[in-house]
Amino acid sequence: MSTKLTYVLIVIVVVGAIAWGLVSYNNSLQARSELSLLRIEMGPLEMNLEIAENTLADTEEDLASAQQELSSCELSLDSLESDLELYKDTWGLVTSGVQPPFQGADIVNYETASNPTWAELLDFLLKDKTDRNTYVPGVYMCGDFATNVHNNAERSGIRAAYVAVELPGAYHALNAFKTTDKGLVFIDCTGLEASDPGPSNCDKTVDVELRERYVPKSLFPESGWSTTWENMGTVRDVEIYW
């Protein structure tokens, strides 16, 4: 009886082990099947992830490009604001890269030229001898003085403008400079005729505004001569050529 019971128990254990093995095997098959499904599902996900990463990279490039364009626009805006400040007191024609439509006005601009300080401008004007040239009616006049000063300044690295002001009965030429510390200044270096008395230095500064008198004042006063020059009349128009 004891032996039969033992056999029965052994059979029960074996059957249980087989049953457990079958259950485990089925669970394993199911797990493998689910893993295969997960791998199949992960394929598109990985592809979508790669697409998303590429899209992100493109977006970052577009953002960098947009930031560069924004910086460029900001620089352009700063330049326009600077130009507006430069011209707000003239109310006349202002242009850049255009030759003045006056006889003998052949100005040359240099890309390397920049706006000077007031001290740098004074140093240049003191060294430049254009103002000591003789004024010869019909031959060498105010436009020639302004052209020479403009080109000499640009050649020396100083940004300059050729300016024409309409006065009663005629146009008169001079120069303008945008200094970094005193703003826009107008300089008249027109010299004297051979028969006219006057100082040896004819460099002058003048306030140029519409409907205001054109009265130059000596930049480098000399003993025995007035610092205020002749009133040339009321300014009717202003043209500035950079």
Q: What is the 3-state secondary structure (H, E, C) of 51-119?
A: HHHHHHHHHHHHHHHHHHHHHHHHHHHHHHHHHHHHHCCCCCEEECCCCCCCCCCCCCCCCCCECCCHH
SS3 47: helix
What is the structure's pLDDT at 64? 72
What is the structure's pLDDT at 157? 98
Q: Which CATH class is domain 91-241?
A: alpha beta
Within 10 A of 190 (CB to CB), how many other CB atoms are there?
Answer: 23
What is the structure's pLDDT at 51? 77
What is the structure's pLDDT at 72? 67
Best CA proximity match to 116, nearest among 175, 205, 177: 177
Phi, then psi, of 181 in degrees rounded to 5: -120, -20
* CA distance readout (Å), 134 to 5, 56, 112, 140: 142, 71, 31, 8
Q: Which residues pair with 234 in a beta bridge?
A: 213
What is the structure's pLDDT at 153? 98
Mean pLDDT for each consecutive 10-residue tract of the chain (242 residues)? 66 62 62 66 70 72 71 62 53 80 90 97 98 97 98 98 95 97 97 96 96 97 96 96 94
Tokens of 37: 């499904």
What is the structure's pLDDT at 78? 62
What is the structure's pLDDT at 141? 97
What is the structure's pLDDT at 103? 81
Tokens of 167: 């006065």
What is the structure's pLDDT at 11? 61
H or E segment and range at residue 174: strand 170-179
